[in-house]
Amino acid sequence: MIPLSWYLIFAAILFCIGLYGVLVRKNAIAILMGIELMLNSVNINLIAFWRYRSPDGIAGQAFAIIVFAVAAAEVAVGLALIISIYRRRSSVVADDMNLMKW
Amino acid sequence: MQSDWLFIGLFLLIVALFPGAPIFLAGLISPHRSNTQKSQTYECGLETVGDTWVQFRVQYYIFALTFLVFDVELVFLFPWAVAFGQLSMFGVLSGVIFILILFVELLAAWRKGVLEWA
Amino acid sequence: MNFISDPITFIANWLGNLLLSWGLSQTFVTVILKFIGAGLVGTFGFALVIFTIWLERKLYGRIQDRLGPNRVGPWGIFQTFPDMIKIFTKEYITPVGADKVVYNLAPILSVSAVLLTWAVIPFAPTIVGTEVNVGVLYLVAVGAIGALGIILAGWSSNNKYSLLGAFRAVAQVVSYEVPMVLALLVPVLLGRSMGVNSLVNAQSVWFIVLSPIAALIFFTSSMAETGRAPFDLLEAESELVAGYQTEYSGLKFGMFYVGEFLHAFTISALTATIFFGGWRGPWTEQVPILGVAWFFIKTFIVYFVVVLIRISMPRLRIDQMLNFNWKFLTPLALVLLVLTAVLDKAFYLVLPSLNLLEAAIPWVRAGMHLLLNLFIVIITVQLLKSYKIKSVQVVAKPKPIAVAPEPPASVIS
Amino acid sequence: MTPEQIIFLIVAVVTLVAGVSVVTSRNLIHSALWLILALFGVAVFYVLLEAGFFAVIQVIVYIGAIAILFIFASMLTRRVMQDTGHQSNKNWWLGALIAFGLLVGITLVLVNWQGFTSLAPVLANQSERLSQLGLALVSPDLYVLPFELASVLLVAAMIGAIFVAGEKKQ
């Protein structure tokens, strides 16, 4: 049997890899990919807690479903924004998007 | 339950092997007489000009986007459909409302002219 | 278990007991049995292609008033084997700048995505690869992997035509997945289950009777997913460069074709399973192995229709194809789903007060659903008619017509 | 080592390698392909957790739709960001430090929690779970509001995204 700790450690590592991508990558699309990894690790945690702590409940699964919906909405809008910015400013580098900085 | 998925996992291996092995074997027995002329990018007899990365229309992205949204919502309807026999009238109606929201979405995309190709 | 009526289960039990008596552990025996089963299903699916390629070429020839393959073996039935040997010895040409790993992965992916479908198709009550409780969604997921194979092929070839073809093909596959999933929701709703085998079990009345519209929508959109005529505008071999397959040669190119032929047969099997009752037929309760025969009879009838459509229909334009999907199939499927849900619930609400015979209930239910479908068809036809009149009114602005000038009177006289 | 544990370890290693490649690969399309592999690994985890429904919707939603959206978007915005040059910020070590620090922090918190090494209880109702989920999603005292709101959210996201990305008609 696999103890819960394995899943939690795995999800934590995946989350940190995603976080590293978000912090470090220049390309805005790559940043969104990092966010996807983070959301996935959260989902693993939700399902793992449901399975190990309250297998009769439904909350973990329902939350995971809502994470799916939010991830889809986030990707759709995020990529649309990037495409729009690319079309106006010919750049997808996150550091260049500084029009609102001051 | 787990053993059903075990079958699918094994099937995944086999199914990758079935097309993969002939491709590999054919690579062993087929001739290898490549030259630069032969392996040029195909372009109806002309030489290729520029990068492969031509600019694509944003329309492709928008179709994929519409598909994504529909897909996510439809997937949520499957548990509802499985539980249909035990649902109360309220449950059925909230599912129907869910589908109607989807319909409104389709109409909105239609009005906006997203679904036109030209 | 009787050997004659149910050989597969019998052999599996016998083999399992034999292996257990050798002192192997239970888990290991399960793995071995599953592996053998998976191998058999995969081999069967792959071997089927050899036959369907011949069948399709023969039908194609006969309908076009040709003979078709007729040299190798009786009726040319072994024609595919020389073709296979020929394509085996063809050289692979990898284009400059191709992404090697992805380039080689794409044909494998596009075949395995289709073959994976066969894992959940029940051939007979007891002969089924596996019965996962999310079988229908599994089918949809496998379709999604197919789209991935296309886009990988197009991208890794480093060719403008490939990439453009792949983009269009993915737009098509992805668009037609929406009505397909919607149409699959209707049988799930009627059968109250997502497992494919339990859907077959639920069809005491075939779902094509309960919901012919859903069957048609599913059939059409899965036809479009195969990317064959009349939906093959992206790789129209006779007119355009061959789409995402442009840069492939030898057996890698052949694998895309294997995938296409297998896909055509697979959608026939799916339609037969989900809407035509799969292995259901007389005497399957007593002799489960008979289910295989029923299943294949139904599948080949549907497959014949698929081939017939491929042969006789002209190619669509891309805007026509996408309009047909988004402006006709999807709204129709949504309306159908809503009305089916409401009707089915209403039927089970009033059922206790009807005092029907136990045996008559499925038939009454089927009749009501059939009436609903007919009603939707009539409304749709009326709407289409009025739309057509409107579009004719808009388009048909009077244009000056060239009229031959009157000959001068002197000529006549 | 039970077979389950071996499968877990193999899939975990593959997924983590894929995840690292996602954030370090120079070619954006390669990043997207590694992302697909990582997402597939996560789907296998759902199977190991006996949540088959989530495994298939992971494949449908993430691999079938979101990954394709990523590939489309990276092709649409391709020209400026060639594969040459650094894909990371100058002070990437700071990001690595923060991520590693967070990992250490999470692990410390987890190790001190008494439920950390609990084993999985036996699931009672294998086949009933899906319809339970379906019931819960539309019952008024559970999740009907989030369910409908998710739908509205997706509609809003789609219309907004179309508005933002769509070309202006000439």
pLDDT tens digits, D38-54:
999 999 999 888 888 88
Q: Count Cα atoms within 13 angstroms, Cβ side, for C174.
A: 34
> Does the pLDDT of residue D58 top 70, yes or no?
yes
> Does the pLDDT of residue B32 top 50, yes or no?
yes
Q: Is C360 left (phi over 0), alpha (psi -120 to 50) or beta?
A: alpha
> Does the pLDDT of residue C314 top 80, yes or no?
yes
The answer as to whether C81 is a domain residue is: no
Residues of C (210-269) whose Cβ lies below 8 Å from B: 241, 246-247, 250-252, 255, 258-259
C345: contact with B, CB 8 A cutoff: yes
The answer as to whether B54 is a domain residue is: yes
Pick the residue from chain A with its C-alpha nearest to B58.
A83
Q: pLDDT exceeding 70 applies to what percent of chain D?
A: 87
Would you say C255 and C98 are in contact if contact means Cβ atoms under 8 Å apart?
A: no
**A19 and D120: CB-CB below 8 Å?**
no
**B99 and C338: CB-CB below 8 Å?**
yes
The answer as to whether B68 is a domain residue is: yes
What is the token pair recorded at C83? 């073709």
For chains B and C, CB pairs below 8 A equal: 222
User: How far, rounded to the nearest angstrom, does the alpha carbon of residue A30 sit from its chain's CA centroid?
Assistant: 11
Mean pLDDT within A83-97: 74
Ordered domains of chain A (ranges, CATH): 4-96 (1.10.287.3510)
**Confidence category of residue B50, pLDDT binned at 50, 70, 90:** low
> Helices marked H in A1-102 — which ranges?
4-24, 28-53, 59-89
Phi first, then psi: what are they for C355, rounded to 5°?
Answer: 55, 50
Mean pLDDT within B14-41: 83
What is the token pair recorded at B22? 């002939």
Q: Which of A14, A24, A64 sits opposite D92 (nearest CB)?
A: A24
Q: What is the pLDDT of residue D151?
A: 87
Determine which of B59, B68, B74 to mutate to test the interface with A (most A C-beta atoms within 10 Å): B68
B19: contact with C, CB 8 A cutoff: yes
What is the token pair recorded at C398? 């009077």
Would you say D45 and A44 are in contact if contact means Cβ atoms under 8 Å apart?
A: yes
**Confidence category of residue C47, pLDDT binned at 50, 70, 90:** confident
B81: contact with C, CB 8 A cutoff: yes
> Does the pLDDT of residue A102 top 80, yes or no?
no
C73-88 pLDDT tens trace? 888 888 888 888 888 8
What is the token pair recorded at C384? 């289409």
A80 contacts on B by Cβ (under 8 Å): 61, 65
Pairwise CA distance, residues C202 & D54, whole Å: 25
A18 contacts on D by Cβ (under 8 Å): 19, 23
Determine which of A79, A82, A86 to mutate to test the interface with B (most B C-beta atoms within 10 Å): A79
Pick the residue from chain D with its C-alpha nearest to B93.
D138
Pick the residue from chain C with its C-alpha nearest to D53.
C134
Pairwise CA distance, residues C138 & C195, whole Å: 9
C95-122 pLDDT tens trace? 887 788 888 888 898 888 888 888 888 8
Q: Give me the interface pTM, i.e. the ipTM.
A: 0.88
Pick the residue from chain B with its C-alpha nearest to C343.
B92
* Entry pTM: 0.89
Average pLDDT, chain C: 82
Q: What is the pLDDT of residue D17?
A: 92
The answer as to whether C28 is a domain residue is: no
Residues of D (58-97) whose Cβ lies below 8 Å from A: 61-62, 65-66, 69-70, 73-74, 76-77, 79-81, 86-89, 92, 94-96
DSSP C19: H
D15-29 pLDDT tens trace? 999 999 888 888 888
Q: What is the pLDDT of residue D170?
A: 42
Q: At which residue do the structure tokens 């992302």 appear? A: D35
**C138 and D63: CB-CB below 8 Å?**
no
Count how many domains chain B has.
1
Pairwise CA distance, residues A3 & D12, whole Å: 14
The answer as to whether C243 is a domain residue is: yes
Q: Which of A65, A76, A83 sits opposite B69 (nearest CB)?
A: A76
Beta-carbon count within 10 A of B117 CB: 15
The answer as to whether B117 is a domain residue is: no
A4: contact with B, CB 8 A cutoff: no
Q: Which of D49, D80, D142 sits opposite A51 (nearest CB)?
A: D49
**D127 and C148: CB-CB below 8 Å?**
no
Phi first, then psi: what are they for A27, rounded to 5°?
Answer: -75, 130
Pairwise CA distance, residues D43 & D49, whole Å: 10
Residues 6+ apart with CB under 8 A from D85: none
Question: Residue B28 sits in which domain range?
Answer: 2-111
C384-402 pLDDT tens trace? 888 776 655 555 566 677 7
If one compares D119 and A31, the residue with the highest pLDDT of the two is A31
Give partners of C (≥3 CB pairs < 8 A).
Answer: B, D
> Does the pLDDT of residue B113 top 80, yes or no?
no
Determine which of D68, D69, D128, D132 to mutate to test the interface with C (most C C-beta atoms within 10 Å): D68
Q: At which residue do the structure tokens 């209707």 appear? A: C186
Residues 6+ apart with CB under 8 A from C60: C68, C307, C311
Question: Residue C330 sits in which domain range?
Answer: 90-352+361-386
> Does the pLDDT of residue C365 top 70, yes or no?
yes
Count how many domains chain C has.
1
The answer as to whether C252 is a domain residue is: yes
Residues 6+ apart with CB under 8 A from A69: B72, B76, D150, D153, D154
User: How far, rounded to the nearest angstrom, does the alpha carbon of residue C7 sit from its chain's CA centroid?
Assistant: 29
The answer as to whether C213 is a domain residue is: yes
For chains C and D, CB pairs below 8 A equal: 57
Please measure the distance between the N-terminal and C-terminal CA atoms of chain B and give it in whole angstroms.
48
- State the sign of the Cα–Cα–Cα–Cα dihedral C235, C214, B106, B72: negative
Q: What is the DSSP string of D32-73?
A: HHHHHHHHHHHHHHHHHTT-HHHHHHIIIIIIIIIHHHHHHH
**Confidence category of residue D87, pLDDT binned at 50, 70, 90:** low
- State the sign of the Cα–Cα–Cα–Cα dihedral C117, C122, C127, C133: positive
* The residue type at C385: K
Residues 6+ apart with CB under 8 A from B13: C38
**A36 and D35: CB-CB below 8 Å?**
yes
Q: What is the pLDDT of residue D126?
A: 62
Kindly list the distances between the CA atom of residue C178 and the CA atoms of A66, B70, C232, D142, D163, in Å, as whole numbers in the listed order.
Answer: 20, 7, 19, 28, 22
B69 contacts on C by Cβ (under 8 Å): none
Q: Do chains C and A touch (3 or more CB pairs under 8 A)?
A: no
The answer as to whether C295 is a domain residue is: yes
> Does the pLDDT of residue A100 top 70, yes or no?
no
> Does the pLDDT of residue D80 top 70, yes or no?
no
Pairwise CA distance, residues C142 & C109, whole Å: 11
Residues 6+ apart with CB under 8 A from C228: C260, C264, C310
A72: contact with B, CB 8 A cutoff: yes
Pick the residue from chain C with its C-alpha nearest to D40.
C145
Pairwise CA distance, residues C44 & A46, whole Å: 40
- State the sign of the Cα–Cα–Cα–Cα dihedral C215, C218, C223, C226: negative
> Does the pLDDT of residue A80 top 60, yes or no?
yes
Q: Which of D33, D52, D72 sits opposite C132 (nearest CB)?
A: D52
Q: Which of C102, C138, C152 sits opposite D56 (nearest CB)?
A: C138
CATH of the domain at B70: 1.20.58.1610
**Considering all CA atoms of chain B, what is the largest pairwise distance in Å, rounded to the nearest integer?**
70
The answer as to whether C20 is a domain residue is: no
**B65 and A69: CB-CB below 8 Å?**
no
**B86 and D147: CB-CB below 8 Å?**
no
**D49 and A48: CB-CB below 8 Å?**
yes
Give partners of D (≥3 CB pairs < 8 A).
Answer: A, B, C
Residues 6+ apart with CB under 8 A from A58: D132, D133, D136, D142, D143
Determine which of A2, A43, A46 to mutate to test the interface with D (most D C-beta atoms within 10 Å): A2
Å from D107 to nearest chain C CA? 34
Q: What is the DSSP string of C75-128?
A: GGTTTHHHHHHHHHTSPP-PPTT--HHHHHHHHHHHHHHHHGGGGS-BSSSS-B
